A and B are shown apart, each in its own frame.
Chain A
Amino acid sequence: MIEVRNITKVFPGAVAVRDVSFAVASGEIVGFLGPNGAGKSTLMRILTGYIPPTTGSATVAGFDVLRHSLEVRRRVGYLPENNPLYPEMRVEEYLEFRATLWGVPRKQRAAAVGEAVQKCGLGPVRHRIVGHISKGYRQRLGLADAIVHDPQIIILDEPTIGLDPNQVRQVRDLIRELGRQRTVILSTHILSEVEKMCGRVLIIHGGRLVADGSPSEIVNRLTATGRVRLEIRGTANGVQEQLKQVPGIAHVTERCEGDVHTYLIEAGHGRDVRPELFRRAARSSWEVLELSLERVTLEDAFAELTEGERGAKPAPAGQPSEVRT
């Protein structure tokens, strides 16, 4: 459905996107994840034909975003960052105007608008003036705008920003429902959102694609070193020595509170050291309170992928890392 090949976007004085390639199949819900200024919005603007890439190419629904921009735009519903709307128009009037621009035939327009209003929960404000409705409603109007012409592909730049938790849940359900028949790309810097909505995550950092896969795949790939937590009550004599003998253990840190000793054990590549630990504990009759593998969340993965190079090494001269998105 979407194919991006080696896209680079350079703004005067900043590189926003560097050599990004990926493909999105029909029916996927893909999340762009990255800190602010990572290049998510720039990438979305390129996919919607708003700005061209400096180098590289992209096709959306089989059409090149540069050469057949209109064909691409006809098939895409887009919610831009900051959700720009015309404040002087009324909610339904705005959706009708947008539906007309997308060539929804006159007879179907009212039905299309009605459906978008209903799906996005805009019923209570359908006759109000856009400038007078609350931020939550405005955000949902932006979403309704993106789906009113029933596009095959929906691109949403931070769709849940500015919404309260209940509204976030509603929007999430809506996006999941839309994703059943359509291709959805959304961007966010909220991790739990991606885990709940997306079948696939692209982590973007400093304009580069640093990870691509399902949320669990990304977590697994990054957790080659599993961390095990072992809690023992009572005398801790010789525990450290015993632990050091276990093959594959790289590092042990000990903490104790009263007579409870907690060991955080870093094991080598993809190795589960728990059975071995259990055998040793049983042999030495340690009073084990807990033996568990620490779950690495997408949050940790994200931090690992995006913070590793921050601060540690400054961006090379002439390529500022802060970029416009």
Chain B
Amino acid sequence: MRNLAALVRRELGVYFVSPMAYIILTGLILVFGLMFWTEMGAASDFAMPFSFDRLLATLAAILVFVAPLITMRLIAEEKNRGTIETLMTAPVTDGQVVVAKFAAALLFLMYLLLPTVAHAFLAAKYGTVDAPATATGYLGLILMCSAVFSIGLFISSLCSSQVTAGVVTFVVSFLLILSSLIADRVPADTWYGRPARAVLERIDPFKYLEDFLRGIIDTRPVIYLLSVTVFFIFLTVRVLESRRWR
């Protein structure tokens, strides 16, 4: 447990001593602030109700872009620098290392989300915000990101270059959020059409986000996102272990 805490602390520390954390944070505040501003403006111009959950949906899209930047270094960097050897010859298990890296990425995400929460309070001051829906919306965002992060972590464990890991993660997560669009184009009347559609429609993480944004916590998206996370964390541990079978 002490090991895990030390590993998480180090991983988090790396984010904050590199310029990356501040660039991501600044970028996110800037983009989200602009979105907030235009959304607010549109709502007042047309005297429409302001909806914070639409902003959260946009935030989800931004986070899919940001995720590779957060996860790409996790294991690829250790491999590239050779520090994986000092790390894995310390008395820590492969599982501890992987879980610590994942936890650090998720904690960093929560830190990134903090300023956006401030916007919710701001919106609530001048209008109405559906507080429970916003809360479940954030829960959905975190669950979606944990699924995407675990995929990024897994890809990082396969690469020895951060850039490769980042690009591959970006492509994979982009394909995931496009999957329901692709599903619509798959001809339904062929032998592969129905199963392919069934799969593609169900792997889109955005689709699962909709319920959360409406304030509904359904067990299916929770289970889907959590099982994706656990599955890829498990695969990452196996990749690290694989040096022992080769």
Contact = CB atoms under 8 A, between A and B. Distances in A.
Interface of A: 45, 48-52, 66, 70, 73-74, 76, 78, 80, 82, 84-89, 97-98, 100-103, 145
A208 B166 CA distance: 42
Given A70-B91, A98-B90, 5 more contacts: A50-B85, A51-B243, A84-B85, A97-B9, A103-B2
A49 B89 contact: yes
Chain B facing A: main interface SS: helix
A74 B93 CA distance: 12
Contacts of A89: 10, 13, 17
Contacts of B244: 51-52, 66
Top-10 shortest CB links A-B: A84-B82, A100-B6, A84-B83, A73-B91, A101-B90, A74-B91, A48-B89, A80-B85, A88-B17, A78-B89
A145 B86 contact: yes
30 contacts: A50-B89, A50-B243, A51-B246, A70-B93, A73-B90, A73-B91, A76-B89, A78-B89, A80-B82, A80-B89, A82-B82, A84-B81, A84-B82, A84-B84, A86-B14, A86-B81, A86-B83, A87-B81, A88-B13, A88-B18, A97-B9, A98-B90, A100-B2, A100-B6, A101-B3, A101-B6, A101-B90, A102-B91, A103-B91, A145-B86
Chain B interface residue count: which class? 20 to 34
Contacts of A78: 86, 89
B88 interface: yes
Contacts of B18: 88
Contacts of B83: 84-86
B92 interface: yes
A76 B84 CA distance: 16
Contact of B10 (A66, A70, A97): A97
Interface in B206-246: 243-246
